[in-house]
């Protein structure tokens, strides 16, 4: 199925590269509506991880992303990831990485080949994730690569992908992007930002799959 999907999505030979929508064009699009706070769960122990694991296993494909405390001093090492987020279309699960994290829950989901993690720039997540947790990323799909295969010359990030595939505008406030992801208790704005990065990735994946099905039909 993977090879057929790529063939259906691939641009024709000699086709001009596709262009990402401009910032001005994205600004005119309707806003992407993500998950509300009540559907975002912080998984703090293995008991909570059991419920989360069942929901993620039922979904099969899940949105995946990580967040790290930003580094503002040149040469200072990045000690992230500090947060791992996973999402279905209905809810999201946030894990704060540290000594008390539900390690076995994370290992079960992230190393699984039955739960496929979808996101952007996954290559840059693999090594830091393993260095920090000892957990390897199992079955996964990098959506930036998928979009390159449809004809975009350069990597497409999440915000541009939401515009291209869904025709919507994803808000990514700098106040959340540059916030302290290593703090003991995440703020509601951080939870919304983290969860909906993963949730939007999954929405883009399903949007792309829908296009492929139409093409194959």
User: What averages of pLDDT result for each successive group of 10 residues across the chain (217 residues)?
Assistant: 42 65 93 97 97 96 95 73 97 96 97 97 92 96 91 86 96 90 95 97 94 62
142 strand-pairing partners:
119
User: pLDDT at position 152, please?
Assistant: 83
User: pLDDT at position 72, please?
Assistant: 64
Cβ atoms of 140 and 90 within 8 Å: the answer is no
Residues 58, 56: Cα–Cα separation, whole Å: 5
**Matching residue, tokens 């003991």:** 184
117 strand-pairing partners:
62, 140
**Rounded to the nearest 5°, which phi and psi values hold at 42?**
-85, 120
User: pLDDT at position 161, please?
Assistant: 96
CATH topology of domain 2-11+21-71+78-216: Nucleotidyltransferase; domain 5 (3.30.420)
User: pLDDT at position 211, please?
Assistant: 74
Cβ atoms of 108 and 90 within 8 Å: the answer is no
Write down the domain spans for the chain.
2-11+21-71+78-216
């Amino acid at each position: 199925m993977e090879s057929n999907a790529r063939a259906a999505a691939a641009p024709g030979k000699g086709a001009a590269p596709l262009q990402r929508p401009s910032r001005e064009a994205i600004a005119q699009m309707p806003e992407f509506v993500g998950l509300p706070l009540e559907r975002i769960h912080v998984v703090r122990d293995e008991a909570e991880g059991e419920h989360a694991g069942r929901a993620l296993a039922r979904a099969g494909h899940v949105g995946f992303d990580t967040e790290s405390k930003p580094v503002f001093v040149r040469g200072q090492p990045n000690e992230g990831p500090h947060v791992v987020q996973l999402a279905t279309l209905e809810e999201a699960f946030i894990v704060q990485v540290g000594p008390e994290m539900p390690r076995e829950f994370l290992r079960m989901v992230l190393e699984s080949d039955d739960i496929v993690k979808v996101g952007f720039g996954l290559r840059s997540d693999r090594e830091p994730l393993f260095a920090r947790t000892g957990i390897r990323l199992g079955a996964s799909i990098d959506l930036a690569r998928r979009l390159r295969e449809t004809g975009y010359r350069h990597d497409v990030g999440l915000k541009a992908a939401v515009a291209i595939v869904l025709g919507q505008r994803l808000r990514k406030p700098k106040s959340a992007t540059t916030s302290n992801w290593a703090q003991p208790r995440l703020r509601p704005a951080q939870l919304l930002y983290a969860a909906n990065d993963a949730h939007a990735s999954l929405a883009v994946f399903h949007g792309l799959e829908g296009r492929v099905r139409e093409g194959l039909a």
